[in-house]
Amino acid sequence: MRIKSIFTLIILLPLFEAGWAQSLHVKADADLDGQMQLEIADTSLLDYSASKVVLGLTLSLSSKRDLTVEQIVLRGLRINGLPVYAAPVKQRLELHSGVKTLLPDPLPVTVYLRDLDSISPLEQAVSNGHTTVDGTAYAKVHVNPVTAMLLFSRSVEIAINLHQEMLPFTIPGGLVTRGAALIVLQAAEKGLRTISAKVTSGKERVSSFRREVMKQYKPHLMLACAHFEVRGQTDNHPNTQERVGDPGVVPFDWCGVAVATAPDLVLVPREVIEPWKFDTDIADALNSKNFSLDKSSYDLWLWPAAAALRKSGERNADAALRLSTKQFSVIKMPDSDEHKIRALEDNGKTRKISVAKRDSSSDLALLRIARPVQTLDALPAADSATKEWDSVALFRFRDGLRGNSADPELIIMPAKRNGTRIELGELVDDSVFGSPIVASEGIVGIVQDQSSGVTWAEATRVLKLDKR
């Protein structure tokens, strides 16, 4: 991150007075709409074994203008109709106008065969040598310097719909000759058929696990969304209070997963209570004193799983619990755990920024609901000393506030215990933050960042759940 100088800030502050900040914020997405394209250039079989198949997606990006892409998230991804999960692409890419950029390495998509209800989509890909890919890509794009300053260097997210048919499906080993290709295809098909036969007896067990996990945990899940606003300091402008609305205000939303541990208790990441402390750019902007947090703008909403999120085009307050209306309160947060990040200033010097840590036992909070209306079965918690799991279940509200209802979905991946941390086998996006980590023996942890979470035993200790 590059911090703007105070001189630059002083120049930009009058822009807030003139109303430019609001117009730039509103138009940021519109200006980039249709400017960027993402295509799947190729699909491939990277690896397969008796337990999983690893597919590769080769991504091709192009743009009508020079852009810097910071991250790509594929959601609702289906290959031959089979729902799969792909980890976010954490790679900075420089796109130049009119030039196609091919990612150097295929994006791996792991399919655990025990989790499938049918293996036929994979068999069709291997047999026919083609696939169909559907989904939505969300690209975080670095905006121009002025807009970046006004948005505190936060990237703009562009949604790109994907639907491509008859994509070539490459088998490793090389398609040098037709005969060699047939041998590879037949071997792969035979191998997958063998795998299919081996896992047939286990598929029902795993499908049963998925059904039981959703049945047991869905009543405990909530979509947690925090809203807050930050504004530029405009004290030097006497007519600030005369405006209708404040064009210097920039709104932010943070959405993740909350889990009810009892009818009146809800566990959330501390980040949903103080999201501005966990974001490097916002934390630095607030510490600079040139921007301030509007504390009165903060509110936290909780929607139970399957609740309607919208009513007459607005957020459905009737279906949600709200902190501002005292329907719940924060009753426990561990002491804050912060770390220092070095940032480069325009003059070449560095300075340190204090940011709250996600991968910490302090990134937890406990809420108490004033008037609980639902009864809940006991939350199944594991007390085993298992060190590694082939499959754990995570939850996410993939669409956040974009959807019409709070519909949770399951993600399956391996995980292992490392002290008081649970290390995830694949990267996840921030919609999974706060999710319980569920193994066959029960809940074993809580997701806190893209690659890890805290163990359930540690969460219980710091929040004193066993005493509640």
Highest mean pLDDT among 110-114, 179-183, 312-316, 448-452: 448-452
In degrees, rounded to 5, the angle at the alpha carbon of residue 80 between the alpha carbons of residues 76 and 84 is 40
110 domain-assigned:
yes
* Domain identity same for 155 and 243: no
What CATH number did the domain enclosing 269 receive?
Answer: 2.40.10.120
pLDDT at residue 218, as a whole number: 94
Q: How confident is the model at residue 88 (pLDDT cuts 50, 70, 90)?
A: confident
* Domain identity same for 251 and 309: yes
pLDDT at residue 402, as a whole number: 79
pLDDT at residue 435, as a whole number: 97
439 domain-assigned:
yes
pLDDT in tens, 259-278: 999 999 999 999 999 999 98
* Domain identity same for 252 and 152: no
Count of CB atoms situated within 10 Å of the CB of 437: 25
pLDDT at residue 232, as a whole number: 79
Closest CA to 295 of 359, 197, 228, 233: 228
pLDDT at residue 126, as a whole number: 66
Domain range holding 318? Answer: 215-467
Mean pLDDT confidence for 216-231: 93
In the chain, how many domains are there? 2
205 domain-assigned:
no
Token pair recorded at residue 324: 């501002």
* Domain identity same for 39 and 146: yes
Q: Is the pLDDT at 288 greater than 80, yes or no?
A: no
Q: Is the pLDDT at 242 greater than 50, yes or no?
A: no
Under 8 Å between Cβ of 443 and 426: no
Mean pLDDT confidence for 242-256: 68
Mean pLDDT confidence for 437-445: 93
Overall residue count recorded for the chain in this entry: 468
394 domain-assigned:
yes
* Domain identity same for 410 and 271: yes
* Domain identity same for 276 and 149: no
Under 8 Å between Cβ of 29 and 158: yes
pLDDT at residue 175, as a whole number: 44
pLDDT at residue 243, as a whole number: 34
Q: How far apart (Å, rounded) are the C-alpha atoms in residues 21 and 231?
A: 10
pLDDT at residue 398, as a whole number: 79
* Domain identity same for 165 and 276: no
* Domain identity same for 223 and 156: no
* Domain C-terminal end among 172, 200, 227: 172
pLDDT at residue 190, as a whole number: 53
pLDDT in tens, 362-413: 999 999 999 987 788 878 777 777 889 988 999 999 778 877 899 998 888 8
* Domain C-terminal end among 172, 193, 226: 172
Under 8 Å between Cβ of 415 and 436: no
pLDDT at residue 265, as a whole number: 95
* Domain identity same for 276 and 409: yes
Intra-chain end-to-end CA distance of the chain, in Å? 43
pLDDT in tens, 38-63: 888 888 877 766 566 778 888 899 88
pLDDT in tens, 315-345: 898 999 999 999 999 999 998 887 766 655 5
Q: How confident is the model at residue 219 (pLDDT cuts 50, 70, 90)?
A: very high
CA distances from 419 to 416, 448, 450 (A): 10, 15, 18
**Mean pLDDT value across the chain:** 76
Mean pLDDT confidence for 197-222: 73
pLDDT at residue 312, as a whole number: 84
What CATH number did the domain enclosing 45 receive?
Answer: 2.60.40
Token pair recorded at residue 409: 């979905």
